[in-house]
Amino acid sequence: MDASFDTAHDLVAINTIRTLAIDAIQRANSGHPGTPMGMAPVVYTLWQRHLRFDPEDPIWPNRDRFVLSSGHASMLLWSMLHLSRVKAVNPAYEVLGEPAVTLRDIETFRQLGSKCPGHPEYRWTSGVEATTGPLGTGVATSVGMAIAGTWLAERYNREGFPIFDFDVYALAGDGCMMEGIASEAASLAAHQRLSNLTWIYDSNRVTIEGHTDIAFTEDVAARFVGYGWNVVTVADANDTDAIDRALADARAEGERPTFVVVHSHIGYGSPAREDTPAAHGEPLGPDEVKATKRAYGWPEDAQFLVPDGVYERFAAGVGARGKAAREAWMTMFASYREAHPELADELMRIQRRELPDGWDGEIPEFPADPKGIASRDSSAQVLNAIARHVPWLLGGAADLAPSTKTRLTFDGAGDFQADDRTGRNLHFGIREHASAAISNGMSLTKVRPYWSGFLIFSDFARGAIRLSALMEIPVIHIFTHDSIGVGEDGPTHQPVEHLMSLRAMPGIAVIRPGDANEVAEAWRFIMRSEHEPVALILSRQALPTLDRSRYAPAAGLLRGAYVLADAGDGDPDVILIGTGSEVGLVVDAYERLVSNGVHARVVSMPSWELFDRQPREYRDTVLPPSVLPRVAVEQATTLGWERYVGSAGAVVGMHTFGASAPLKELQTKFGFTPDRVVEIAQEQMKAQMR
Ligand SMILES: Cc1ncc(C[n+]2csc(CCOP(=O)(O)OP(=O)(O)O)c2C)c(N)n1
Ligand SMILES: [Mg+2]
């Protein structure tokens, strides 16, 4: 079939997208029909006329990306994936013959097991580029994809081999534009001159509570001009020629990201619901479904109808363009492999999240040192040692690199900027939420990202950290200044509840290493992690480097918790558990108890998550169930420690905010001294004997 635009045929295809959404939402009796109805022509035009995406291979590395930042409008994406017959891909990156989204999935929209959940979920449905729903986060994620695209192009493209030149598109609504994270990301995207990035703004001027006049009256287009974007306006979302021109303009733009403002009507075509907030998040209702179908010239009783020729139309549009582009790329890649075998090998590894041979060859071993080294500093050494061997490990800080020590300092590491795309040090600016979302986007594009900030500000990034866990992508979130150990900066900068709140999040490993060698082991775990993000929690202050000939090897970190020291055979009299900066303190207390003849044990517990994954047998050897006297020491909220110390055990932790004072004084004030820990251990032993 001819792929050229033909208003009648295109309108049937567009109305198929709309009516599938209407029917699925009516059947589910929940969902958001308004935006699929309003924006169907825009997304259709993008896919049919511009997107270089092959439904036969939705993970082809140089595909254009489409991110539905208005995640509530998921039916728009499900209709597109179904109608263009995108193929499913399994976790081994194999393309399966079956469709990613069947008509049956659409009929069971929002039901358990359907490939069409309420919001787009990466890894659950093939063709979804990013999990979206938390507004603003999808557009920020798209910036990470665009950054990764330019970095990959610079590193891997060679004369005659444009291996990477993909574009990134995101669709956003009023809600995304109101969220702060979108502003953070838009500002950085313009600074970085990401001309491979286009955001399409669905300006329907309606949100849940009503018309945007109630809360959002700024000039959004002017804002984006201010950031430095190329701003284009489409006056009518149904004008497919105007949309086509705007997207062509975006592709021709070589210096700036493009912002396409599309004036649209939420619930377009529904006689009673168009332009109303009710169209946003309610099914139309049986009568209005019929009235709307009549308005579209659609058979009013037909449900889940895909008229003859519609699949073929998608196949002739996005299907044919995508196939041609991918096949040309495959042919090019075969010659590239001959001409540049090492680069091609790297690329294949990146795609499979594999590491280069010898990546860990330079990880240092730290000699015992009672004065020690801050874990942020040992981490800096380890990170640099690894990054020298893993070219696609890149990242930065939210303007805190001199404090978080995450800068790559070796020759050639460079700074990533518009005029140097090879740089591996990113400057995220003071934008924590966007830093995490951008890192997610980079990870979805398969480079290995890290970003860093103070642990206290992890709250600012939490929404995007959570999405990295939900998507099961190996983003490295690095947080330093991990406790009251920060000292003089005081309670605004001293995290208390943050560690526990990160541990409360499923799907992310929180690691708080106790000394430099545990830091090295933490990085070994991090780098091997293919499908799980990590929060690495580091200290500002020096931590003694333990003598590992005297205490157990740091490799115990990989099991989450391990017996660091034990004063004798058999069950101990008391178990002291410490994490991070408190391991040294607990070891001091242990030595005192031992010199008093107590059979004490020290357990270093850098990661609850890794420990909980161990077989019960191992866990019971570390924390024998029969040994009740237990003390956990951590400069943070105590909530949750009962699971390891039991209801009778003791926890030395924080019950209030911290204070501004030198660290030593804070340690005394809040009870983090060897004397206090010894005292509590003795109370524990007494109490359990009674
Ligand atoms: C961070 C965040 N806050 C709140 C919500 C709940 N929410 C979902 S959609 C929506 C309104 C979105 O309005 P708009 O982006 O204009 O979408 P439209 O109604 O035009 O489809 C809200 C508040 C959310 N998904 N994410
Ligand atoms: Mg809106």
Dihedral sign (CA 118, 124, 128, 132):
positive
Alpha carbon of residue 100 to chain centroid: 23
The DSSP symbol for 353 reads: T
205 Cα nearest atom in ligand 1: 16
DSSP letters, 400-436, are -HHHH-----STT--B-BTTBTT--EEE--S-HHHHH
pLDDT at 7: 75
Max intra-chain CA distance, the chain: 90
34 Cα nearest atom in ligand 1: 21
Query: What gap in Å lies between CA 243 and CA 364, rounded to an integer?
Result: 55
CA of 199 to the centre of ligand 1 (A): 17
For ligand 1, atom 21, the nearest C-alpha belongs to 35
327 is catalytic: no
pLDDT at 92: 86
pLDDT at 3: 46
Reduce the DSSP state of residue 327 to 3 states and report it.
helix
Edge to edge, what strands does the sheet with 230-234 contain? 65-68, 168-172, 197-203, 258-263, 230-234
Positions in the chain whose pLDDT score sits under 50:
1-3
The DSSP symbol for 487 reads: G
Taking residue 559's Cβ as centre, other Cβ atoms within 10 Å add up to 17
pLDDT at 96: 87
Q: Is 355 in contact with 527 (CB distance < 8 Å)?
A: yes
For ligand 1, mutation pick of 39, 68, 72 (most atoms within 8 Å of CB)? 72
Single-letter amino acid, residue 623: L
pLDDT at 5: 56
Marked catalytic residue, from 129, 179, 184, 432? 432
Residue at token pair 């309003």:
38
Taking residue 434's Cβ as centre, other Cβ atoms within 10 Å add up to 34
Q: Is 227 in contact with 255 (CB distance < 8 Å)?
A: no
pLDDT at 4: 52
What is the tens place of the pLDDT at every residue in 369-413? 999 999 999 999 999 999 999 999 999 999 999 999 999 999 999
CA of 175 to the centre of ligand 1 (A): 5
Reduce the DSSP state of residue 68 to 3 states and report it.
strand
What is the tens place of the pLDDT at every residue in 311-353? 999 999 999 999 999 999 999 999 999 999 999 999 999 999 9
70 Cα nearest atom in ligand 1: 15
Dihedral sign (CA 553, 482, 444, 339):
negative
